[in-house]
Amino acid sequence: MKKIMEVQIGGIKCDAVGCGFRDDGVKFSEYSHYVGMPCPNCGANLLTQEAHDHAMKYIKMATFLNKWFGWMGRDDGTYDAVITPQYDNKGMPDGVKVKKL
């Protein structure tokens, strides 16, 4: 199926200042498991409910847009834009980064 955009989310990182814990092997489908989990390094919340809901909102939006407007996408399977949700150092949603391809 052709797509016009892709949401790229993956890996988990601790947003506490100076901690630096990250696990890039975590898939988005596993995120709900990490909501409220303490960081193994510093004990801060690894993934807030707000951050998870924020990411889900963009996944749903992209799924919707691809469903209805995917026909405008490219034939080679690449997409026009990549969306990456952003978070501040408290793990709170901080908009999105959109990269036009």
- By CB under 5 A, the residues from 40 to 59 that bind Zn ion are 41-42, 44
The residue (of 14 and 62) whose beta carbon lies closer to Zn ion is 14
Q: Contacting Zn ion (CB under 5 A), which of 9, 21, 63, 84?
A: 21
Q: How open is the CA angle 73-93-58, to the nearest 5 degrees?
A: 25
Cβ 34 to Zn ion shortest distance, Å: 13
Kindly state whether residue 28 participates in binding Zn ion, applying the rule CB under 5 A: no
Question: Whose Cβ is closer to Zn ion: residue 23's or residue 30's?
Answer: 23
HEC assignment per residue over the chain: CCCCEEECCEEEECCCCCCCCEEEEEEHHHHHHHECCECCCCCCECECHHHHHHHHHHHHHHHHHHHHHHHHCCCCCCCCEEEEEEECCCCCEEEEEEEEC
Sole binder of Zn ion in the list 5, 12, 16, 26 (CB under 5 A): 16
Stretch that binds Zn ion, among 23-31, 36-44, 52-60, 76-84 (CB under 5 A): 36-44
Read off the amino acid at residue 28.
F
Interacting residues toward Zn ion by CB under 5 A: 14, 16, 19, 21, 39, 41-42, 44
